[in-house]
Amino acid sequence: MPRKYPKYTRPDVKNLSAEIDEDYEWREREMRSFEQIFLGNDLLVEGHEFDRRRKCLIVMLYSHYEGFIKFALSVYAGALNNSGRSGLECRYVEDRIVSWSLSQVFSDLEGGGKKHPLFQSLPTDQEVIHRLYRRSQVVEHWRKLEETQINIPDEAYSTKSNLDYDRLRQLLYQINVDHDKFSASASQLMELCGRRNSIAHGDRENRQKGVSGEGEKGYFRIRERSFGAMKSVHQIIVTLLHEEAYLRPQYRRRA
């Protein structure tokens, strides 16, 4: 019996890759420009004044790191959402991607915030009614699940304005990728996010303290691992799209 493939518009991998690459390149150019201004392009230059300048660069580096990861995921989600008029039905898609698409449904169930529109004014001790309503919503989605088209909402790939290493692992897991892929860079990625948060929140210890150039947690290594992670995420997205890894194995044309 011939294999039945889903009818949908396959993503234009070449154009999507170019779109992600363009975003990466302008971010790297901007970082190099600021590094030239602050450090004369010598990332390891020593001195208290240069340590203070690297502190500014850390904040900028984090912004580009978080911004790029979110952008790359938005391109991937958009490619799955915009899969033609017929759409890509959940029956053909990997379980984690389906759950990614239904993130708002699960959030409403787990968060306990959504109420039945007819019972909005009920006191809090009537929560049992609202809970039953949320459960019925899940059942309703479940009955229609196979025919439901993939539609990944923006909130599903939110970095929560705090892309630490744990959040990165969660995002990788959501898109059905090895969540420990960047374990070798964990120390530097945690340091990047931690430093940025400490500076942004005005922690007293950071008022005079700068960022050194050398060492495992110095600017050079943090920058190297951050842009390395960004490049890898780009390649991951391209591979997922090219190999149709978002589909269940039996429906992949390249399987």
Q: What is the pLDDT of residues 64-77, one digit of tens each?
A: 999 999 999 999 99
In a domain, 222, yes or no: yes
Within-domain flag for 121: no
Query: 67-81, 123-137, 162-176: which has the minimum mean pLDDT?
Result: 123-137
For residue 140, is it within any domain?
no
Nearest C-alpha neighbor of 64 from the set 163, 154, 153: 163
Using left for φ > 0, alpha for ψ between -120 and 50, and beta otherwise, residue 47 falls in left
Any domain includes 103: no
SS3 call for 87: coil
**In the predicted model, is pLDDT for residue 124 greater than 60?**
no
Whether residue 234 lies inside any domain: the answer is yes
pLDDT of residue 56: 92
Establish if 35 belongs to a structural domain.
yes
8, pLDDT greater than 50: yes
- Considering the chain, what is the average pLDDT of its residues? 85
Q: Which residues does 106 contact at the CB level (< 8 Å), separation at least 6?
A: 99, 138
Encoded amino acid at 151, one letter: N
Highest mean pLDDT among 85-89, 127-131, 180-184: 180-184
Containing domain of residue 176, as a range?
A: 13-88+153-251
In a domain, 135, yes or no: no
Answer whether residue 86 shows pLDDT above 70. no
d(CA 25, CA 32): 11
Among the listed residues 109, 175, 179, 180, the one whose alpha carbon sits nearest the alpha carbon of residue 142:
109
pTM: 0.84
**Count of structural domains, the chain:** 1
98 contact partners, CB below 8 Å, separation of at least 6: 90, 145, 150
- Predicted local distance difference test score (pLDDT) of residue 141: 62
State the Cα–Cα distance between residues 11 and 246, nearest whole angstrom.
12
Separation of alpha carbons 34 and 53, rounded Å: 10
> Has residue 240 been placed in a domain?
yes
> In sequence order, what are the beta bridge partners of 247?
93
3-state secondary structure at position 93: strand
Four-residue CA torsion sign, 115, 117, 123, 127? negative
Mean pLDDT of the 96-119 span: 67
Note the pLDDT of residue 255.
46
